[in-house]
Amino acid sequence: MSELIKVEKRQVLQEKPDQASLTFGEVFTDYMLSFEYSQEKGWHDLKIIPYGPIELSPAAQSIHYGQSVFEGLKAYKHDGEVVLFRPEENFKRINQSLERLKMPQLDEELMLEGLKQLVDVERDWVPDGEGQSLYIRPIVFATQGVLGVHPSHNYKLLIILSPSGSYYGGDALKPTKIYVEDEYVRAVRGGVGFAKVAGNYAASLLAQANANGLGFDQVLWLDGVEQKYVEEVGSMNIFFVINGKVVTPKLNGSILPGITRKTVIELAKSLNYEVEERRISIDEVFELYHSGELEEVFGTGTAAVISPVGELQLKDEKIVINNNETGKVTQELYDHYTGIQSGKLDDPHGWRVEVPRY
């Protein structure tokens, strides 16, 4: 499809923020993509409209019963061209999330085309400073205004765009302090842990706030059944470097299948690291630390990219990983990952998708 999507122009464009002061997710561009679903018409009325408040019934099913899913990806500017990073993976995953919440499927190709046209309209908003990008947030939520628990008959999709600096502000590779959560759990097998649904985040906030109160950046979630096996960190997947090997928990239905995770696995293999996806218990992690075999720990996710872990606290025991410094493997993966993303390095895997000028 190369047909142009209708753009409803806004009267006045916003002033763009100073690139040096960009934070994460606080400023939004002039336009957003909008798509409607009704039972009678299916998905219809795809258009680019001014960014702004939307009208929603107070009885909308998404607010009451949580039929709401989202995605997160980024666009980068390199040599004046704008590229997306593996965007087809995000639309594949949003369909898996939609399916799990009994919401209607999207045409993945059409969505990618719509996203490209939106980003083309907003290409001047894509920042080109170190570590900066245009963060892209697709959401789909139920809009039917009736009480009663059943799948909504109406939905809305929006894609909003936010020019952003690095996720943790300033220093992208500053090691984080992580609290191993041993009371609350994020997800259980058979539940919605593998899906990017809004409610998963609501369910994580109490533990996250408690950990923040104790001086930690994020929590490490353990499995929901035995609270024994490592699952993931906040909004990131987790990796361990053990005796030079790259190890990450195997996807099991309750772990979110991160696209950064998948990319890091492929990248590590292409850099000749041995990669293991397996169950790993938190006790094993601490034992490997004491035997000197745990070399590095890092998290992966679109927002933070690759984020070293400097401290892990389990109950009363704290371990300091790699002297609280960014490890060699973490740094190497980070450099390759961001190099390919931003266009500084070649892209042998074909992960970059250029946004054409329509």
How far does CA 171 lie from the centroid of its chain?
19
**How large is the angle between the packed helices 87-100 and 108-121, nearest 10 degrees?**
130
- Residues contacting 338, CB < 8 A, separation 6+: 131, 305, 344
Rounded Cα distance between 298 and 261, Å, is 11
Residue 155 CB, nearest distance to ligand PLP (Å)? 20
- Specify the residue, 46 or 264, whose C-beta has the smaller distance to ligand PLP: 264
Residue 133 CB, nearest distance to ligand PLP (Å)? 13
Nearest to 261 by CA among 168, 165, 337: 337
Nearest to 301 by CA among 344, 244, 256: 256
| Tokens encoding 65 | 């019963």
How far does CA 251 lie from the centroid of its chain?
16
Residue 187 CB, nearest distance to ligand PLP (Å)? 8
Evaluate whether 275 touches 245 at the Cβ level (below 8 Å). yes
- Specify the residue, 5 or 73, whose C-beta has the smaller distance to ligand PLP: 73
CB atoms within 10 A of CB 225: 11
Residue 73 CB, nearest distance to ligand PLP (Å)? 8
Residue 200 CB, nearest distance to ligand PLP (Å)? 6
Task: DSSP letter for 180, please.
Answer: E
Interface positions with ligand PLP (CB under 6 A): 72, 196, 232, 235-237, 256, 258-261, 300-302
- Specify the residue, 144 or 164, whose C-beta has the smaller distance to ligand PLP: 164
How far does CA 241 lie from the centroid of its chain?
22
Residue 96 CB, nearest distance to ligand PLP (Å)? 12
Residue 105 CB, nearest distance to ligand PLP (Å)? 19
Residue 302 CB, nearest distance to ligand PLP (Å)? 3
- Specify the residue, 249 or 301, whose C-beta has the smaller distance to ligand PLP: 301
- Specify the residue, 17 or 257, whose C-beta has the smaller distance to ligand PLP: 257
Rounded Cα distance between 185 and 188, Å, is 8
- Specify the residue, 5 or 304, whose C-beta has the smaller distance to ligand PLP: 304
* E strands in 21-132: 31-38, 42-50, 68-70, 73-78, 81-85
- Specify the residue, 17 or 66, whose C-beta has the smaller distance to ligand PLP: 66
Question: How many residues would you count in the chain?
Answer: 358
- Specify the residue, 121 or 264, whose C-beta has the smaller distance to ligand PLP: 264
